[in-house]
Amino acid sequence: MSLPSDFQWGFATAAYQVEGATQQDGRGPTIWDTFCALPGKIADGTDGSVACDSYNRTAEDIALLKRLGATCYRFSLSWARIVPLGGRNDPINQAGIDHYVKFVDDLLEAGIEPFITLLHWDVPDELDKRYGGLLNRKEFPLDFENYARVVFKAIPKCKNWITFNEPWCSSILGYSTGFFAPGRTSNREKSPVGDSSREPWIVGHNLLLAHGRAVKVYREEFKPTDKGQIGITLNGDYTYPWDPEDPRDVEAANRKIEFAISWFADPIYFGKYPDSMRKQLGDRLPEFTIEEVDLVKGSNDFYGMNHYTADYVKHGDGNPAPEDFLGDLSTHPYSKNGDCIGPETQSFWLRPNPQGFRGLLNWLSKRYGYPPIYVTENGTSIKGENDLKEPEILNDVFRYEYFRDYVNAMAKAVSEDGCNVRGYMAWSLMDNFEWAEGYETRFGVTYVNYADGQQRKEKYSAKKMKEIFDAVIKKD
């Protein structure tokens, strides 16, 4: 059971979750700044204005990565730091560019390979106000293409690019449930605007077009000289049928992955949406024009995989509500015969199930022709962790066991099943702003004391990470 000797491992974060400094050096407002200001949207009423203060602590964060033995680091850029208003005719903020250029230089000097995500949900607020942001099929992809070009030009030393993080979340949580910014939904108790039956599918389509445009620019204008690679990061759980004897549950378990992952991956690898989605959604799912297919099909150099958990899936009644986005099914922590996915965590949606990681790596590899895969997020929260004080909060044995078991499952998928996994980035380097859950839920291998100047202290899992990988990576 082993991973290749050039396997890269490290940690992941995202700009709005760690940077803070939202008013510093010319950064413009994002949809998350606006959303957090709305009463009741964030569990503890907080926002990302300070977060981990990583914008001002890049040297400290790099020293931490180096201490932990990481060989790569995935982080996202704040579009609103680089083009504060977001648009292709808006001014560029040189201070924002300079910050990230120096950060990449410093990472490389420390022997850490950067993986840069262009957009991890924090769309410039002006674009939302100007033309509806992600809902605009014409304007948004052009503005994203321009932003991507500015960044590619400024940071040729970065060889690993991710266009979007988890477009499923931007589409469904932002435009169906209203749980994430900009909070649009058909539920009028939550939002005065939104159409959960149509808007998420429009947003998903537009994100694919924007992804395709950025990839085309990179491949035509930068890849020949910079020799880097570019892809997208998609999220999804593994699934098991609630009743493995019921063919409808078996079919529903597969359909759930199609609605979560293949919604984006099928157009990228095959140039079309999954048949199961077209069947249920009809004309609510946009049609690709010939030009759009040309843009999107084949637009991944690698597959970025975010994965945390698994579900038991029970088929629906064949009559899904207009706002249904799962695929006419329900998910459950227990199967028909009482088997459990895994123990509870602080996150209602997350139960550890390492064999599901191996299962999904195989599912993706078989469907998409064994592409190079980078695991760009994987990790867990711990039930009640935020209620603990030091030193107990540093003793995250549960998280260590999660990483150990998941990494071993991945190593088997590579060495025994032939999956082509090239790298792994744990979520997350440190506790941070967990979106709608605020600071109540912690995912970090490093404890951040928000009450005492954002100081970082390594937890048990942080100190064991190198040992976990040393045990499975082949020595040259």
Examine the residue annotation and report whether 437 is marked as an active-site residue of this protein. Answer: no
Q: What is the pLDDT of residue 398?
A: 99
Give the residue carrying structure tokens 């910014």. 181
Token pair listed for 319: 């009559």
Q: What is the pLDDT of residue 458?
A: 98
| Distance in angstroms (rounded) separating the CA atoms of residues 73 and 113 | 6
For the cut 90, the answer to whether the pLDDT of residue 10 exceeds it is yes
pLDDT per residue over 311-341, tens digit each?
Answer: 999 999 999 999 999 999 999 999 999 999 9
Q: What is the pLDDT of residue 118?
A: 99
For the cut 80, the answer to whether the pLDDT of residue 1 exceeds it is no
pLDDT band per the 50, 70, 90 thresholds, residue 143: very high
Peptide linkage before 182 cis (omega within 30 of 0): yes
Question: How large a percentage of the chain has pLDDT more than 90?
Answer: 100
Token pair listed for 18: 């760690």
* Backbone angles phi and psi of 56, in degrees to 5: -100, 5
DSSP, collapsed to helix, strand or coil, labels residue 476 as: coil
Distance of CA 350 to the CA centre of its chain: 15
Q: What is the pLDDT of residue 259?
A: 99
Q: What is the identity of the amino acid at 174? A: G
pLDDT per residue over 228-262, tens digit each?
Answer: 999 999 999 999 999 999 999 999 999 999 999 99
pLDDT per residue over 52-82, tens digit each?
Answer: 999 999 999 999 999 999 999 999 999 999 9
Q: What is the mean pLDDT of the chain?
A: 98
| Distance in angstroms (rounded) separating the CA atoms of residues 316 and 425 | 35
pLDDT per residue over 377-430, tens digit each?
Answer: 999 999 999 999 999 999 999 999 999 999 999 999 999 999 999 999 999 999
Examine the residue annotation and report whether 166 is marked as an active-site residue of this protein. Answer: yes
Calculate mean pLDDT across residues 26-42.
Answer: 98
Q: State the catalytic residue, choosing from 19, 126, 166, 434.
A: 166
Q: Which residues contact 163 (CB under 8 A, 6 or more apart)?
A: 117, 118, 119, 148, 210, 211, 214, 215, 230, 231, 232
pLDDT band per the 50, 70, 90 thresholds, residue 476: confident
| Distance in angstroms (rounded) separating the CA atoms of residues 402 and 400 | 5
Instruction: Write the DSSP string, 443-457.
Output: --SEEEETTTTTEEE
Q: What is the largest CA-CA distance in the chain?
A: 60
Instruction: Of 71, 67, 75, 69, give the one whose Cα is nearest residue 7.
Output: 71
| Distance in angstroms (rounded) separating the CA atoms of residues 39 and 37 | 6
Q: Could you tell me which residues are beta bridge partners of residue 340?
A: 334
Q: Which residues contact 339 (CB under 8 A, 6 or more apart)?
A: 312
Calculate mean pLDDT across residues 86-93.
Answer: 98
DSSP, collapsed to helix, strand or coil, labels residue 181 as: coil
Q: What is the pLDDT of residue 267?
A: 99
Cα-based distances in Å from 218 to 158, 159, 209, 261, 291: 12, 11, 14, 24, 18
DSSP H helices, 218-301, are: 223-226, 247-257, 263-270, 275-281, 290-296
Question: How large a percentage of the chain has pLDDT more than 70?
Answer: 100
Instruction: Of 149, 276, 266, give the one whose Cα is nearest residue 204.
Output: 266
Instruction: Write the DSSP string, 231-245.
Output: EEEEE--EEEESSTT
Element (H, E) at 304: strand 303-306
Instruction: Of 432, 428, 433, 307, give the one whose Cα is nearest residue 12.
Output: 428
Token pair listed for 262: 């293949």
Q: What is the pLDDT of residue 392?
A: 98
Calculate mean pLDDT across residues 14-23.
Answer: 98
Q: What is the pTM of this model?
A: 0.98
pLDDT per residue over 182-241, tens digit each?
Answer: 999 999 999 999 999 999 999 999 999 999 999 999 999 999 999 999 999 999 999 999
pLDDT band per the 50, 70, 90 thresholds, residue 342: very high
Q: Could you tell me which residues are beta bridge partners of residue 331?
A: 313
Residue 301 class from Cβ within 10 Å (0-12 exposed, 13-18 middle, 19+ buried)? Answer: middle
Residue 373 class from Cβ within 10 Å (0-12 exposed, 13-18 middle, 19+ buried)? Answer: buried
| Distance in angstroms (rounded) separating the CA atoms of residues 455 and 383 | 22
Q: State the catalytic residue, choosing from 292, 377, 434, 437.
A: 377
